[in-house]
Structure 1
Amino acid sequence: MEHFRSLGSMDVLLPAVNYANIQNIPAGIVYGPRTIPDYQFVYVIAGRMDLCIGRDIYTILPGECAFYGADTIHKLTAHPDKPVTFISLHFDWHRLSPEPVHPGPKLQNYAVTPPFEPALRYTVDVTGYGSVTLPVHFKFSDGERVLHQIVQEYKEEEPGYAFALRGLLIQALSEIIRRQKDVASTYSPKRSMIQNALQLIVEHPEQAWSISELAESCGYHHIYFSQLFKEVMGVSPKPYMIHKRIQLAKKLLLKEEKIEVVASKLGYASIHYFSRHFKSITGMSPSTFRLYGD
């Protein structure tokens, strides 16, 4: 049985790198069984590694990555016939200070394999979308460049390196979360149940859709639809509609559309009402947002 733990909202997380290195190891090397005090990415550049968590074995090939967190009992094994080159990245999802805290002193190795337990799965709440479950094993060849940059920053320790590490880690995590969001959208049965409503909101953000209209598009009673929508998206239909409308407003403003044109396209009766609503959500007037960007 899978166990899940929420990491909270993506918008407020402050991830911090603890350790980053490219390692070349001989065939057959084994790490563990052990636990770590933080979270880890293992990205294989060449060779093959096998990750054992509970009864599950994940084969990590070049261009692929594994992810697991604190207190997950695991064992990493290099292929018995080939040496392995891989990137090891330890990090925390949320810490005020970006300064690295080496995980070494808190690694715990076991002389014998402890009782089998499945991998703890982690979720992140994405504004305007809902909860995203992070994969244990995934392809990440397009992310190899930023992982190399993280390793370089960590090793060289140039002035401001901790700040730079946080920025690069956010870039890597954002890419992983976005990809997983797309995968989840494709294969989520419950999301498909509200797909018609989501399409209406995205394609016609200027419409002041009622809950009943959205529910009817999916063939449900409005009460059940509202419950299902919040379960899938993490927010109720109304704040989701507002988010999508303001999101589109920002895009149009940055394209230098006139404010009155943007207001009209989004279905606002007047430019003054649009400006007040925009400022109440973003903290800036449309003209200020256009001047300074998001």
Structure 2
Amino acid sequence: MEPTHPLGPIALLLPTVNYANVEREVSAGFVFGPRTIPDCQLVYVVSGRMDLWIGANMYSLLPGECAYYGSGTPHMLSVHPSRAATFISLHFDWQRVSPEPVHPGAKLERFAGGPPFDSPLPFTIEVEGYGSVSIPEHFRLVTGERLLYQIVQEYKEQEPGYSLVLRSLLMQVLAEIVRQELEISALDSSKRSMIGPALQMISEHPQHPWSLSELAQQCGYHHAYFAQLFKEVMGVSPKPYMIRKRIQLAKKLLLEEEKVEVVASKLGYASVHYFSRHFKSITGMSPSSFRLYGGERGPLA
């Protein structure tokens, strides 16, 4: 078994935000490092492109993508020479009793030399029922951008109780990362791989009204067997699963300020009323309310 950096059970973690900011329009070619940091960091690219060396790996970070590295990890982060970049920088500790932020600046350590660096040990979390989950170095953060903006806002405004709110929001971000990794890992399991082509079709085109026969045919099964297998693997039948995926896309479009009528049309609903009814039955909110309150980012957006 390869050595890792174990973080313990996810249910017992007490993560703490140390620093959060939107770094806007950082000049093309600007370089952070080579360096190590005393805590951990998430870097989420909003616009532009950033290049990151972690150990012997080099990653290109595009909008919507995120990078993670832990304390003591040699790394070098740079804005691509082609254009300026805007990104969210979040420093945090995985485990600290106090939720009060401790700024990492005083303990940043720069060093001579350049990449490639020594490869760090992967950080792992124990998830009950699933085992050990590794935190990826490079990944797409599907729905976490709004949470990151909220963290930045709370960190800057420091209203009463802000440190506890920061911990709550950070836990949601970290939980999303773990869930994404679990979903990716599950695709490698034998039974889930049997319905993998159908899951890919739904994921890539959630707005399409796939029929049971179309999904079953893609996987090479009779529709009755496929429906039984799908429910066994996913815990729900194909139709409610497709509705859930469609509503996830609806949330994303609404947060991007798309009008309710436009979202309903893009998702293939025959009427705004039918779409609104579906949306509220799953989220507990109407699309209009979600767009007004659920997507509110405040002045930092």
Q: Which of the five TM-score ranges fits, normalised by the shorter chain? A: 0.5 to 0.7
Maintained 8 Å contact 1:69/1:120: no
State how far apart, in whole Å, the 1-side matches of 2:86 and 2:175 are: 25
Q: Among the aligned pairs, what percent are the same residue?
A: 56
**Secondary structure, in 3 states, of the residue corresponding to 1:120?**
coil
**Secondary structure, in 3 states, of the residue corresponding to 1:187?**
coil
Equivalent position of 1:181 in the other structure: 182
Q: How does 1:74-85 map to 2 (within 5 A)?
A: 74-85=75-86
Quick one: which amino acid aligns to residue 172 of structure 1?
Answer: V
Using the TM superposition, give the Cα deviation of residue 54 of structure 1 relative to its aligned residue in structure 2, in angstroms.
2.4
> Structure 1 residue 19 and structure 2 residue 3: aligned?
no
Equivalent position of 1:5 in the other structure: 5
Equivalent position of 2:64 in the other structure: 63
Maintained 8 Å contact 1:123/1:131: yes
Cα distance 1:53–1:161, how it changes in 2: closer, same or farther (>3 A)? same
Aligned residue pair count: 197
**Secondary structure, in 3 states, of the residue corresponding to 2:51?**
strand
State how far apart, in whole Å, the 1-side matches of 2:161 and 2:17 are: 13
Using the TM superposition, give the Cα deviation of residue 117 of structure 1 relative to its aligned residue in structure 2, in angstroms.
1.0
Maintained 8 Å contact 1:46/1:86: yes
**Secondary structure, in 3 states, of the residue corresponding to 1:162?**
helix
> Structure 1 residue 42 and structure 2 residue 43: aligned?
yes
Maintained 8 Å contact 2:51/2:58: yes
Maintained 8 Å contact 1:17/1:89: yes
Quick one: which amino acid aligns to residue 9 of structure 1?
Answer: P
Equivalent position of 2:29 in the other structure: 28
**Greater Rg over alpha carbons, structure:** 1
Per the normalisation by structure 2, the TM-score is 0.61
Maintained 8 Å contact 1:2/1:121: no
Using the TM superposition, give the Cα deviation of residue 102 of structure 1 relative to its aligned residue in structure 2, in angstroms.
0.4
Using the TM superposition, give the Cα deviation of residue 4 of structure 1 relative to its aligned residue in structure 2, in angstroms.
1.9
Q: Which runs of 5+ in 2 are unaligned?
A: 194-230, 236-301
Q: How does 1:45-124 map to 2 (within 5 A)?
A: 45-113=46-114, 116-124=117-125
Maintained 8 Å contact 2:53/2:76: yes
**Secondary structure, in 3 states, of the residue corresponding to 1:174?**
helix
**Secondary structure, in 3 states, of the residue corresponding to 1:170?**
helix
Maintained 8 Å contact 1:68/1:120: no
State how far apart, in whole Å, the 2-side matches of 1:202 and 1:171 are: 22
Per the normalisation by structure 1, the TM-score is 0.63
Q: Which runs of 5+ in 1 are unaligned?
A: 193-198, 204-294
**Secondary structure, in 3 states, of the residue corresponding to 1:118?**
coil
Quick one: which amino acid aligns to residue 136 of structure 1?
Answer: E
Equivalent position of 2:290 in the other structure: none
Using the TM superposition, give the Cα deviation of residue 112 of structure 1 relative to its aligned residue in structure 2, in angstroms.
2.3
Equivalent position of 1:284 in the other structure: none
Q: How does 1:1-294 map to 2 (within 5 A)?
A: 3-24=3-24, 25-113=26-114, 116-187=117-188
Using the TM superposition, give the Cα deviation of residue 3 of structure 1 relative to its aligned residue in structure 2, in angstroms.
4.8
RMSD: 2.4
Maintained 8 Å contact 1:51/1:60: yes
Maintained 8 Å contact 2:55/2:115: no
Cα distance 1:188–1:121, how it changes in 2: closer, same or farther (>3 A)? farther
Maintained 8 Å contact 1:47/1:83: yes
Using the TM superposition, give the Cα deviation of residue 119 of structure 1 relative to its aligned residue in structure 2, in angstroms.
3.4
**Secondary structure, in 3 states, of the residue corresponding to 2:143?**
helix
Maintained 8 Å contact 1:2/1:118: no
**Secondary structure, in 3 states, of the residue corresponding to 2:155?**
helix
Quick one: which amino acid aligns to residue 70 of structure 1?
Answer: S
Cα distance 1:202–1:178, how it changes in 2: closer, same or farther (>3 A)? closer
State how far apart, in whole Å, the 2-side matches of 1:68 and 1:2 are: 18
Maintained 8 Å contact 2:55/2:75: yes
**Secondary structure, in 3 states, of the residue corresponding to 2:82?**
coil
**Secondary structure, in 3 states, of the residue corresponding to 2:144?**
helix
Using the TM superposition, give the Cα deviation of residue 71 of structure 1 relative to its aligned residue in structure 2, in angstroms.
0.7
Maintained 8 Å contact 2:54/2:69: no
Quick one: which amino acid aligns to residue 119 of structure 1?
Answer: P
Quick one: which amino acid aligns to residue 19 of structure 1?
Answer: Y
